[in-house]
Amino acid sequence: MTRPTRRHGRALALLAVTATTLAVAGAPATAAPATATPTPSEALDDPPPDAPEQIENGDFADGTAGWYSYGTTSTDVRDGRLCSAVPGGLANPWDAGVGQNDVPLVAGASYTISFDATASPGATVRAAVQLGAEPYTSYFAADVALSPTVTHVERTFTATEETSAAQVAFQVGGNAAGYEFCLDNVSLRGGEEAPPYVPDTGPRVRVNQVGYLPGGPKNATVVTPATEPLPWQLKSAGGAVVASGRTTPRGVDAASGQNVQSLDFGAYRTPGTGYTLVVDGETSHPFDISATLYHQLRSDSLHFFYVQRSGIAIDPALAGAEYARPAGHLGVAPNRGDTDVPCQPGVCDYRLDGRGGWYDAGDHGKYVVNGGIATYQLLNAFERTKTAPTAGGGAALGDGTLRVPERGNGVPDILDEARWELEFLLRMQVPAGKPLAGMAHHKLHDQNWTGLPLQPEDDPQLRELHPPSTAATLNLAATAAQCARLFASYDAAFATRCRTAARTAYAAAKANPAVYASPQDGNGGGAYSDNDVTDEFYWAAAELYLTTGEPAYLTDVTASPHHTGEVFTPNGFSWGGVAALGRLDLATVPSGLPAAERARIRASVLTAADGYLATLRAQAYGLPIPGAASSYFWGGNGNIINNAVVLATAYDLSGDVKYRDGAVQGMDYIFGRNALNQSYVTGWGEHASRNQHTRIFAHQLDASLPNPPAGSIAGGANAGLDDPFAKQLLAGCAPMFCYVDDINSYATNEVAINWNSALAWIASFLDDQGDAAAPARATCRVDYENYGPWHGGGGFTAQVTITNTGSTPVNGWTLRFAFTGDQRVREAWMSRVTQSGATVTARNESYNSRITPGGKVTFGMNVTTAGGANPTPGLFTVNGAACG
């Protein structure tokens, strides 16, 4: 969660810009302004009384929004004034400053600059209006002697050239002694009003710009004044008409305010590239029909997490040269963290090693609650491969499949990536013997907001631990419990560490059930406050029960109001509402729940999915979220995808293709079938987001930096317009139009790990669907019988029976399944059994390779385990096909 940069072409909130970024966000690093002589207002024509104001937030009513700061030791707004602590001994005026970027000037126009300022105990400050990049052309400059008494300055000048990249700069260096500079009522009147913003929405035929699966749904939306059905044509790349039909009028779409019609071309299934739809004289963006459509998206969406890593150098061999950077926040100057981090004053008397983890969003903060749901979704994407028939046993997420430095270590790459965050979450736990021991600090971030762009290794701010919270503690308990069962087959010591941390955190949360993060704790990082943690208790108890099998955790699960309540809301789940995570895992992860209870839980997922299908069908743009303005909010794209995750899970549970098709169609909106004709994922679609709000990938502000990497999703349309840039630019927008691909709009266009984790989960599901052919009928059944633990513990004996329920013989068989935890096959009989991680592969012997229709084969095995839950595996496949 991060603050902004600019508003309608002007720099928004931004502090502590380093010298490496001055050419973009501060005063010149190598050249002083051309003149330091005041321009006399008497010699010039004053601008007219109604001349437009070019400064945003000049009275600082919106805090630091719109203003950068660099070279100062602190900058904040107090009593309605912007105040900076300026160190003494800086050689030049431009070695420190505050200001505002991207101010437009009109050649030959008169401008009046005015402000009120103080300096305590006293200093000389240079006020300048100049070009914000080389050659830093000066349009006005005045050296002003300031004292603790307010000085009002007002000057008029004429702009000598046309530019949209001027800056109003207060250069505060060059004084022998340190002082406090305070500023208020900054104004620059003159020039012209900015023209109204009109988005370029491209062709009126809106499609999934990535494409469609051959056997999946294929829908599009047409913006048109027509109220009668229209003819449509599907054309190949060569221009041949390959399908045609008529549209369905849908009336005025509530979310966009547009009169629209929809069309369905799902009957056409021929793979190809460069297809277009032609309707009402308009031709859509091109798209593909392919079974491998989303293969690279799985990799790209997960790669986002690698380039967001804190505390590690980003390797050009993995990320590409433009994304390579040194490790950030390892205590190497100018960094002041994260290896030895103090608490905020008055919070604690210890320091923690808080290195590692992922930078949360566009800032450099690290937040346990947002890291929790993001880690959950990566872990769950892997755990799904143990139970979902279409997941291919997890081969596409295995070791060597992703661009991570740990590849080749024998651990699935997606677990390696999740571990980077898990290690950070574990480090955030309050040490034993300290107040609130076992709880987790809510977050770790800069003491003050920093500016854009700013690379992690250049961040000069003091890093601080913020108070522990019950919500953060339960996020740690839940994800550490997941870690314990999923890493058990790969790293027993790490799994044990996770299990211990999960138990400790859960006990600490129960002892401190109402320690809430303050909604006012939002300087330098997002507050992430949450005063209802009943959902976190439910989720954590569910994960601990699934990992340990212990009755105490099950008691807490069943006692929670969320266990039988409605956890799947119309607007979807997110970091602040996580009860759905517990419900989804209880429905999908094998456990010792009674069969009737498990069936009830699974039925609740299908019921929710039916509701999302009904919503999707009612929306002319085909997305599984209502059309009201209240459904378009900060980060709403993540919620839309999470509703698609529920649909996908319903398909995994039931095999009913209506749910799969709903999940697939729900993603059309994300990839361009929307009012703006905008794909929200960088690198995916003809017209895709590329200027997301991020300090690291700030190409829009500094051409030497890259755009966000392919696979980065933007937060999306936000009817709340919760940042000044969007509020000014998009005032009055219909909900679906409340988005702009500009780095300055943090409330519509930021990146965040919890939105990308949703994208990564659904991308993995989409890629698993291949051509989306109808699933084959099961022709086998597997009965798994656990004969109980050995005397003295340490293992158990199991027998597996395969029955051929088909009409043809099976000649040679390979059975696969996955354990949930640390179970390991020690020996087997009547089958050749191997195990990799949690996955067991059993192959026939020469004497039992043939299974006739109705026939059976049986084999047995001895399995070791150190304890914990030991349920029957959730999915068995024979020769790659799921058994009933």
Question: Within a 10 A sphere around the Cβ of 251, how many other Cβ atoms?
Answer: 11
State how far the Cα of 291 lies from the Cα of 212, in Å rounded to an integer: 8
Active-site residue flag, 180: no
DSSP for 178-200?
-EEEEEEEEEEEES-PPPPP---
Tokens of 111: 């401008």
Question: Within a 10 A sphere around the Cβ of 813, how many other Cβ atoms?
Answer: 19
Decide if 603 contacts 721 (C-beta within 8 A): no
Active-site residue flag, 285: no
State how far the Cα of 171 lies from the Cα of 532, in Å rounded to an integer: 46
Q: What is the 3-state secondary structure (H, E, C) of 102-115?
A: EEEECCCCEEEEEE
Decide if 482 contacts 540 (C-beta within 8 A): no
The SS3 call for residue 824 is strand
Name the catalytic one among 383, 535, 556, 750. 750
**Helix ranges restricted to H, 716-851:** 724-730, 746-749, 753-768
Cα dihedral sign for 621, 622, 627, 631? negative
Name the catalytic one among 76, 102, 338, 363. 363
- How many residues are given for the chain? 884
Active-site residue flag, 134: no
Active-site residue flag, 767: no
Question: Within a 10 A sphere around the Cβ of 164, how many other Cβ atoms?
Answer: 12
State how far the Cα of 464 lies from the Cα of 8, in Å rounded to an integer: 32
The SS3 call for residue 781 is strand
Name the catalytic one among 741, 742, 767, 822. 741
State how far the Cα of 60 lies from the Cα of 78, in Å rounded to an integer: 9
Based on its alpha-carbon atoms, the radius of gyration of the chain, rounded to whole angstroms, reads 30
Cα dihedral sign for 495, 496, 499, 500? negative
Phi-psi region of 211 (alpha: psi -120 to 50; beta: other; left: phi over 0): left
Cα atoms in the 13 Å half-sphere on the side-chain side of 527: 10
Question: Within a 10 A sphere around the Cβ of 131, how many other Cβ atoms?
Answer: 18
Which residues, 6 or more positions from 383, have their beta carbon under 8 angstroms from its beta carbon? Answer: 482, 486, 585, 588, 589
Question: Which of 845, 855, 835, 883 lies closest to 410 in space, CA to CA?
Answer: 835
Name the catalytic one among 76, 652, 693, 767. 693
State how far the Cα of 741 lies from the Cα of 688, in Å rounded to an integer: 9
Query: In angstroms, what CA-CA distances link 45 with 55, 103, 110, 468, 502?
Result: 20, 21, 7, 59, 71
Helix axes 295-307, 368-384, angle to 10 degrees: 150
Catalytic residues: 363, 693, 741, 750
